[in-house]
Structure 1
């Protein structure tokens, strides 16, 4: 049998042939990338709709730090804070601490996605690896931002004198998100090296407290020994705390330097995590 010829395109009212439809043109990469980052971030945040237990349980630890540690050291005045009540001085450090604790174990979720086959499916999509990592990193930042709101509310109830200037609060949100993005990418990078949840859990627990105590979250840099000052100078958490303290309390801060370090650290973290993401799926 001979093949049935294709029907000719319909003619217009004046007898001329109508032009054939043309397929939509692909959007340029610089337009697709932000949309895919937002999509990955939205997918991560959808998980909060099904289980909010993590947000509730993680609010307990910062509340205890403020209620017990902050109130006690405010009374004994053992740490010089330049005339600022210690609980006020401590509150930005606890915001940064709680945000870091959320992000630093984000690599466990990546390993779980590897074990369940989700990561392999994501890697075969046209979405660049940098977009996958960036979406997950900023989802961690938004989760940390929710935690920061909880800590700010607790601090306000305890009488901490904080600013409510919308522009300063926007800067607080940016500092929390960029800092959390770095620590989430650090966790994913470690996951790409160690490859197992047990090893990542052990390393995460081993580095969280040194990062916290090796920063200016609990005490000023001026009272640190020289070797700890050197650790604080290369610790991104110190710059995050400095920015939060300057924005929330109005204390002297180095905001341009703080945000430059946080943005560069987040960018370096995304680059490192993206380069090791494929190793997890092997």
Structure 2
């Protein structure tokens, strides 16, 4: 008995078509990979955003660090304004001091940034970041400019305190934008200096000691508290190679309108930030060993 062949039924117009597999569409398409010059800025921005997200969980650092500059302005500035012992070029000493305190507070935030790098190494976060395709320079630059943004927030606090004390500052938007750029560049250099030291000493205790040992000499060997002309010759030479002096000079010129060398100041700060990023990037690999 032979088998009866099965004849396929013709599909009528009313017969629904067999369901097809659902199309995944864009969900199955990987995102376009940035190439060329767009890779580095994108990764720097990503690392900067990651660093700034830490402020959402703990903002006490911003509040506590505002105490010291407020004391400098309220006690040191008000006292020496009454003494009239430091020549400040026709402006009150409190006005002269305010840009220096802005630069000082920004430096104090950035100079201990290397401690965070060592903590990330000890917790296992840094080795995971270093094995990603992100270049070491992008990692360092992202952290450096995040330190700059934190310093800008600190600078806003100091500017508000100075304004309440009667410091005659400009409110020109372009000049204030220049202040932001100066603070970011200066903080980027000092944070890279801290990360470079971290790559050398490799421990938090040593970095804390070195950071405390160099912050006050950097501060006093600048024009933050007094004009360079009042310094002895050897200290004037130190002040000329101190990036903090150029940061303070630019801030005074932008905020107070005093004579300054803005192009030289911006050039030195840009060069210092680039050299700092290069130095910290070259030492970053030692932290992962």
Give your verdict on TM over 0.5. Answer: yes
Q: Tell me by how many angstroms 1:29 deviates.
A: 3.2
1:111 corresponds in structure 2 to: 118
Equivalent residue in structure 1 for 2:80, among 70, 73, 87: 73
Equivalent residue in structure 2 for 1:197, among 196, 204, 226: 204
Residue 243 in structure 1 maps to residue 250 in structure 2: yes
Structure-2 change in CA distance of 1:24 and 1:196 (3 Å): closer
- Count matched residues: 262
Q: Gaps (5+ residues) in structure 2?
A: 1-27
1:233 corresponds in structure 2 to: 240
Matches of 1:33 and 1:82, distance apart in 2: 44
1:280 corresponds in structure 2 to: 287
The alignment partner of 1:159 has SS state of coil
Residue 122 in structure 1 maps to residue 129 in structure 2: yes
Matches of 1:75 and 1:91, distance apart in 2: 16
Matches of 1:237 and 1:175, distance apart in 2: 10
Structure-2 change in CA distance of 1:90 and 1:24 (3 Å): closer
- What are the superposed Cα offsets for residues 232-263 of structure 1, whole Å, 9 maximum, x if unpaired? 00000000000000000000000000000000
TM-score (normalised: structure 2): 0.89
2:264 corresponds in structure 1 to: 257
The alignment partner of 1:160 has SS state of coil
Equivalent residue in structure 1 for 2:220, among 193, 204, 213: 213
Which has more radius of gyration?
Answer: 2
Q: Tell me by how many angstroms 1:83 deviates.
A: 1.0
Q: How does 1:31-50 map to 2 (within 5 A)?
A: 31-50=38-57
Residue 173 in structure 1 maps to residue 173 in structure 2: no
Runs (4 or more) in structure 1 with deviation over 4 Å come to 21-25
Q: Tell me by how many angstroms 1:22 deviates.
A: 9.2
Structure-2 change in CA distance of 1:62 and 1:125 (3 Å): same
Matches of 1:54 and 1:245, distance apart in 2: 26
Q: Tell me by how many angstroms 1:177 deviates.
A: 0.2
Q: Tell me by how many angstroms 1:78 deviates.
A: 1.1
TM-score (normalised: structure 1): 0.91
Q: Tell me by how many angstroms 1:280 deviates.
A: 0.5
2:14 corresponds in structure 1 to: none
What is the root-mean-square deviation in Å for CA atoms of aligned residues?
1.2
Q: Gaps (5+ residues) in structure 1?
A: 1-20
Matches of 2:96 and 2:154, distance apart in 1: 18
Equivalent residue in structure 2 for 1:102, among 92, 101, 109: 109
- Indicate the larger mover: 180-189 or 30-39: 30-39
